[in-house]
Amino acid sequence: MSSNKEQWGSRWGLILSAIGMAVGTGNIWRFPRISSANGGGSFVFVYIGAFILWAIPLLMAEAVWGKATRRGVVGAFKEFLGEKYTWMGGLVGWISYAIACYYAVVMGYCVRYFVFAITGVIKPGVDTEALWNSFINSSSQMMTFHIVSMIIATVIILRGVNKGLELANKIMIPALFVMLIVLVIRAITLPGAVKGLEFLFTPKLEYILKGKTWLEAFTQAAWSTGAGWALLLTYYVYAKEDEDITLNCTMTCFADTTAALLAALAVIPTIFALSPDPMKAVGSGNNGLAFIHLTKLFSEMPGGMLAAMIFFLALIFAALSSLLSMLELATRVLIDAGWERAKAALAVGVVTTILGLPSSYRAYILENQDWVWGVGLLLSGMFFWYGAIKKGVDKLYEQYIKPSSDIDAPWLWKLIYFFPIWFFLIVGWWMYQAITWYPGEWWKPFPLDKYTYTVGTMLFQWAIAFVVIYLLNDVLNRWVKPVKR
């Protein structure tokens, strides 16, 4: 028999942890880049619409699953939908956990560059492109900082919900927002920063009407807020009975958007003020933007050394707060199987460290896994949609959402009906792009270093995960222990 004795110490503990789950590195380096490529202010407008239509309903579904069952993702699907659907929880859990295995490597990047900043490596005259290439091609450095990141995260998970997750997020999330505000103040006071502000906040109708802008916004909303990842589901296992699902999920999304906007205000004006070719910088990819172009600007601008320290520490907090939610998801699955937290957390920490080593050994492996499971997480949302339809959308609202909500907005929850439309549009768009990247070879899965982003590698790995987990459905049912009520 398993039980759930842990609980958030306060409502703010849950809210800040949920915000930490949502606010990740994508808010700080992907949002400014994608918003710049899609019309600046136009993208911001569309993005707000995307998280209302997509992210909030899915986060509400996750909260309902966790609050109703008091189980991790595998047990939640077993109890909520029945034993023949347990595999759905297993697949959703695997996708989120697979992301954790390489996300810890990404956190390692941030830790490494924070060390560069505080030790004076980032200084005037430094060749930031050579510095990045030296690091990314050094397996020993990549593995070392991946392991360091996992040690930090595992120690926090070992300490449990109150002394670990809640305490860490109560420190990191307010500090993260303060650091972003400091970076914004420095950015907008740079000579020429006004050009970046104008670019960021001037809406252009042609971008708002572009389908690509909406597809990018929906993708960013899914990846940024964690909608459909089952991370919020896990956090709601520890929620009090009277937690307001509608308000909390809406606050989480707005806080996530606020963090993204602050990051854009810090990054875009800095680039427009100091870079000779701003659009080249924002078009250089996540790593190129953060670790080459911005690092170069930090090395040249007045007060840049301090700005670099703050920026990379903010990246660490964003990465760590999201990584913790992924590791807690896996830990909760083991706790549901009857494991004690210490044993479960340690096992998850060790296994995740090992499974992340390939991504820290070769960058193309990380890029491949990010492609496969980053798009794959969109699939997770389909299972929550199916569960809501099967159980009854109106019934779930009346039973689990409305009784403890100060916001009576059933329309917001009912937007989950439209999820399949967004899903097929977005996944179809990503597949179409991948086909254009590899004309005539889009179906090939191997070798990974050549076919890193093909449709073939994605479908191949999805199929393996689906077949294995589906065949293990009975094993998963026996694995999850009954709950002590």
pLDDT single digits (tens) 134-169: 999 999 999 999 999 999 999 999 999 999 999 999
Inform me whether the pLDDT recorded for 28 exceeds 50. yes
Q: What is the pTM of this model?
A: 0.94
How far apart CA 479 and CA 481 sit, in angstroms, is 6
More confident residue, 2 or 245: 245
The pLDDT value given to residue 2 = 47
Inform me whether the pLDDT recorded for 483 exceeds 70. no
Q: If pLDDT is split at 50, 70 and 90, which confidence band does 385 have?
A: very high
Average pLDDT (466-478) is 97
Average pLDDT (89-112) is 96
pLDDT digits (tens, 9 = 90+) for 313-326: 999 999 999 999 99
Do residues 99 and 377 touch, judged by C-beta distance below 8 A? yes
Inform me whether the pLDDT recorded for 43 exceeds 90. no
How far apart CA 406 and CA 433 sit, in angstroms, is 43
What's the gap between Cα 266 and its chain centre? 20
Inform me whether the pLDDT recorded for 288 exceeds 90. no
Inform me whether the pLDDT recorded for 431 exceeds 60. yes
Q: Residue 35 forms beta bridges with which residues?
A: none
pLDDT digits (tens, 9 = 90+) for 203-214: 777 777 778 888
How far apart CA 457 and CA 317 sit, in angstroms, is 32
User: pLDDT averaged over the chain?
Assistant: 92
DSSP H or E run through 220 = helix 211-225
The pLDDT value given to residue 484 = 63
Average pLDDT (252-259) is 92
Q: If pLDDT is split at 50, 70 and 90, which confidence band does 305 have?
A: very high
The pLDDT value given to residue 309 = 96
What is the amino acid identity at position 477?
N
Do residues 39 and 207 touch, judged by C-beta distance below 8 A? yes
Whole-Å CA distances, 192 to 35, 39, 198, 271, 280:
20, 19, 11, 10, 17
The pLDDT value given to residue 341 = 97
- The fraction of the chain above a pLDDT of 70, given in percent, is 97
Inform me whether the pLDDT recorded for 23 exceeds 80. yes
Q: Which fold has domain 11-479?
A: Amino acid/polyamine transporter I (1.20.1740)
Token pair belonging to 214:
């909406």
The pLDDT value given to residue 47 = 86
- Helix 139-158 × helix 86-118 angle, to 10°: 120
pLDDT digits (tens, 9 = 90+) for 116-131: 999 999 999 999 999 9
Average pLDDT (230-253) is 94
Report residue 256: phi and psi, to 5°.
-60, -45
Inform me whether the pLDDT recorded for 173 exceeds 50. yes
The pLDDT value given to residue 337 = 95
pLDDT digits (tens, 9 = 90+) for 178-219: 999 999 999 999 998 898 888 877 777 777 777 888 888 888
Whole-Å CA distances, 106 to 149, 384, 443:
9, 28, 28
The pLDDT value given to residue 1 = 44
Q: Which residues contact 189 (CB under 8 A, 6 or more apart)?
A: none
The pLDDT value given to residue 284 = 62
Do residues 28 and 22 touch, judged by C-beta distance below 8 A? no
Average pLDDT (464-468) is 98
Do residues 108 and 124 touch, judged by C-beta distance below 8 A? no
How far apart CA 364 and CA 451 sit, in angstroms, is 10
Decide: helix, strand or coil at residue 242: coil
The pLDDT value given to residue 107 = 97
pLDDT digits (tens, 9 = 90+) for 101-119: 999 999 999 999 999 999 9
The pLDDT value given to residue 4 = 61
